[in-house]
Amino acid sequence: MHVAPLWSMFAVFGALMVLTVLTVAAIQIDLGPMWNVILAMAIAVVKALLVAAFFMHLWWDRPFNAYLISAAVVFVALMLVYILVDTDRYSDVVGEGDGVNTLQRATQ
């Protein structure tokens, strides 16, 4: 049994609150849609790591629990990448131009 040190709990909570204020403040800065969302996600990842490592005890646990949850996150990220591969590769409007939409074409 490992008991988490008291100071670490409050330190992590303080860091989480600071990062929350930071992410709200950072969105006011105009970095463009791409970098704003990347910055917001980077801050969120740091917060998530803090919660997982210390509040959820992964830092002191045997590493297998961390492997498990990391694998889940990695596979979600992998699927995200493959889904975003063909973003913006499609016509914005289905069937525009001939007055026949996809459903009608399929039933013709």
Partner 1 sequence: MSDHEHHGPDNLAHHFESLEQQTEANKLGMWAFLVTEVLMFGGLFLAYATYRANHFPVFEYCHWFLDTKLGAINTAVLLASSLTMALGVRAAQLGQQKLLLGMLVLTFMGGVGFMGIKTIEYTSKFKKDLYWGQGNLYYPVDKKNAYYDKTVNADLGPDQERFAWTEQDKLYRIYELENYYFHYKKGVDWFTPHYIPPEYRVDPEGYADHGGPAEPPPPPVVSVEAPSAEAQAAAQPDAEAESVAEPVVGLAGMTSSDIGTPAIGPQGMTAGVLNAGFTGLEPDHGHRTHFTWDTLPDSEKQRVHIFFQIYYAMTGLHGIHVLVGMGLIAWVGVRAAGGAFGPTNFDAVEIVGLYWHLVDLIWIFLFPLLYLIH
Using rule CB under 8 A, residue 104 touches partner 1: yes
| Count of beta carbons in the 10 Å neighbourhood of residue 41 | 12
Using rule CB under 8 A, residue 89 touches partner 1: yes
Q: Side-chain half-sphere of 14: how many Cα atoms within 13 Å?
A: 6
Using rule CB under 8 A, residue 106 touches partner 1: no
The CB-of-87 to partner 1 minimum distance in angstroms stands at 3
Using rule CB under 8 A, residue 99 touches partner 1: yes
Distance (Å, whole) CA 51 – CA 15: 10
Restricting to residues 68-87, which ones interact with partner 1 according to CB under 8 A?
A: 68-69, 71-73, 75-76, 79-81, 83-87
Using rule CB under 8 A, residue 63 touches partner 1: no
The CB-of-11 to partner 1 minimum distance in angstroms stands at 11
Using rule CB under 8 A, residue 96 touches partner 1: yes
Distance (Å, whole) CA 7 – CA 3: 12
Using rule CB under 8 A, residue 100 touches partner 1: yes
The CA angle 26-32-33, to the nearest 5 degrees, is 90
DSSP state at residue 29: S
